[in-house]
């Protein structure tokens, strides 16, 4: 499948790949180049492959409360939250952003690979008078992420972009094209995700590329997107999150609100929290000149203690970083573990995530507000 921007990517010389059935750009100029561009100026991403599921009706909130783990009743109109959908056994089915668009109207943005199964799951489990519309093939999405993102958008939108706070969404015109503009993202930088009609995607992309280009913004492929989200400590479904992993294991209890009422997976997640995780998600940084990658074993001396879920060399940090699930007894920050790479040990150290924090990079030593996490 192709997004409406396929020809744009080819024209820009992108190396393409197949991702979740979609032909997507891996890189245009290079992964290191593009990662550094987002961190220093801004990047422009085609996210049209992702799923947009509209949930509406008098019981829309009730349905979303039952289907997801976070508390959507806290959302004002124009507010968004990160959340999870879990199955009855507490396993994660998807991670998503829930945007409240109206009094009884929500947009769930889900992973491309899970769009169809998520839609079926919602149809089967929604409650009362709730309608589901899958708008994934009529909604395109373009992200602008980086320290220059606000400056880029401010010269292109019909309102004061600074009035749009983090995790807020509103409708507006971007160079005359009607969009939902959300201050959300997957890179750890300030940024925006724009949702427009499939048919206007090319015009929106070209407008953003033109405006953004003046402030150093470049088109960014999935290769750099994966490096950026890993540097920011964000999980990727299929790697850190699967249906055999609970929010307890993944250290995502901060998006599980047990006191909001009943929801799918609640009892299983409570039980998992009581008995403690079987395995725990940790961040690793390589001490030696080696790169831990997906699937490699993690050892403490001779003992097998876990497995790497994602790993890369981080051009931003100049070292290799990874996430892994390990036995909880081996999960202390600062502990050294070996990742086995083609039979040889790669010495690593457990470090807190995120690996990279933009505010700290700009102002070293200045205290930053970390995301609150529940103790596991």
Partner 1 sequence: MHPEDLKYATTHEWVRIEDDLATIGITDHAQSELGDIVYIELPQVGTTIHKGGVFGTLESIKTVSDLLAPVSGQIVEVNEELPETPERVNESPYSAGWMVIIKMDDPSESEDLMSADDYETFIQER
Q: How far is the CB of 120 from partner 1 (least distance, A)?
A: 33
Bridge partners, 350 (sequence order): 284
d(CA 25, CA 219): 9
Q: Which is nearer to partner 1, 172 or 345 (CB)?
A: 345
Positions that interact with partner 1 (CB under 8 A): 27, 30-33, 223, 227, 289-291, 293, 312-313, 315, 320, 341-342
Q: How far is the CB of 17 from partner 1 (least distance, A)?
A: 11
Q: How far is the CB of 315 from partner 1 (least distance, A)?
A: 7
**Nearest 5°: CA angle at 282, between 366 and 19?**
100
Q: How far is the CB of 231 from partner 1 (least distance, A)?
A: 12
Q: Which is nearer to partner 1, 222 or 253 (CB)?
A: 222
d(CA 329, CA 172): 50
Q: How far is the CB of 263 from partner 1 (least distance, A)?
A: 37
How many other C-beta atoms are found inside a 10 Å radius of the C-beta of residue 247?
26
Q: Which is nearer to partner 1, 225 or 279 (CB)?
A: 225
d(CA 231, CA 39): 11
Q: Are strands 22-27 and 42-46 parallel, antiparallel or unpaired?
A: unpaired
Q: Which is nearer to partner 1, 164 or 348 (CB)?
A: 348
Tokens of 121: 């799951």
How many other C-beta atoms are found inside a 10 Å radius of the C-beta of residue 142?
25
Q: How far is the CB of 347 from partner 1 (least distance, A)?
A: 14
Q: Which is nearer to partner 1, 219 or 223 (CB)?
A: 223
Q: How far is the CB of 235 from partner 1 (least distance, A)?
A: 18
Q: Which is nearer to partner 1, 27 or 66 (CB)?
A: 27
Collapsing DSSP states into helix, strand and coil, what is residue 109?
strand
Tokens of 279: 């395995």
Cis amide linkage into residue 354, ω under 30° from 0: yes
The residues near 43 (Cβ < 8 Å, ≥ 6 apart) are 34, 37, 143, 144, 145, 146, 187, 217, 218, 219, 220, 224
Q: How far is the CB of 186 from partner 1 (least distance, A)?
A: 18
Q: Which is nearer to partner 1, 223 or 265 (CB)?
A: 223
Q: Which is nearer to partner 1, 187 or 312 (CB)?
A: 312
Tokens 């396929």: give the residue.
Answer: 6
Q: Which is nearer to partner 1, 86 or 323 (CB)?
A: 323
Residue of 158, 291, 211, 169 whose CA lies nearest to 44: 211
Maximum separation of any 2 CA atoms in the chain, in Å: 62
d(CA 131, CA 189): 34
Q: How far is the CB of 290 from partner 1 (least distance, A)?
A: 7
Contact at 8 Å (CB) between 105 and 60? Answer: yes
Contact at 8 Å (CB) between 298 and 326? Answer: yes
């Amino acid at each position: 499948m192709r997004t409406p921007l396929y020809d744009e990517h080819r024209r820009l010389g992108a190396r393409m790949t197949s991702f979740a059935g979609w032909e997507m750009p891996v890189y245009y100029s290079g992964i290191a180049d593009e990662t550094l561009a987002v961190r220093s100026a801004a990047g422009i991403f085609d996210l049209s492959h992702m799923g947009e599921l509209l949930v509406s009706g008098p019981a829309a909130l009730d349905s979303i409360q039952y289907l997801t783990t976070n508390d959507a009743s806290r959302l004002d109109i124009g507010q968004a939250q990160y959340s999870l959908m879990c199955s009855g056994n507490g396993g994660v089915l998807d991670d998503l952003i829930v945007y409240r668009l109206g009094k009884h109207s929500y947009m769930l943005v889900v992973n491309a690979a899970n769009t169809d199964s998520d839609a079926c799951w919602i149809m089967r489990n929604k409650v009362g008078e709730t309608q589901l519309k899958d708008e994934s093939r009529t909604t395109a999405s373009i992200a602008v992420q980086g320290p220059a993102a606000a400056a880029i958008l401010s010269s292109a939108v019909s309102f004061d972009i600074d009035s749009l706070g983090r995790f807020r969404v509103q409708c507006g015109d971007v160079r005359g094209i009607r969009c939902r503009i959300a201050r959300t993202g997957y890179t750890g930088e300030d940024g925006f995700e724009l949702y427009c009609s499939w048919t206007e995607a090319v015009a929106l992309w070209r407008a953003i590329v033109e405006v953004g280009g003046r402030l150093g913004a470049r088109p960014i492929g999935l290769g750099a997107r994966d490096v950026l989200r890993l540097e920011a400590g964000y999980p990727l479904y299929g790697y850190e999150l699967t249906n055999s992993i609970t929010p307890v294991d993944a250290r995502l209890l901060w998006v599980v609100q047990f006191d909001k009422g009943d929801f799918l997976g609640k009892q299983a997640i409570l039980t998992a929290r009581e008995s403690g995780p079987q395995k725990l998600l940790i961040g690793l940084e390589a001490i030696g000149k080696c790169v831990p990658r997906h699937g490699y074993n993690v050892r403490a001396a001779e003992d097998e203690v876990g497995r790497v879920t994602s790993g890369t060399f981080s051009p931003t940090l100049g070292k290799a970083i990874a996430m892994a699930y390990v036995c909880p007894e081996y999960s202390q920050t600062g502990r050294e573990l070996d990742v086995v790479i083609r039979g040889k040990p790669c010495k690593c150290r457990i470090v807190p995530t995120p690996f990279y924090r933009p505010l700290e990079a700009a102002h070293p030593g200045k205290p930053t507000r970390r995301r609150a996490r529940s103790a596991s």
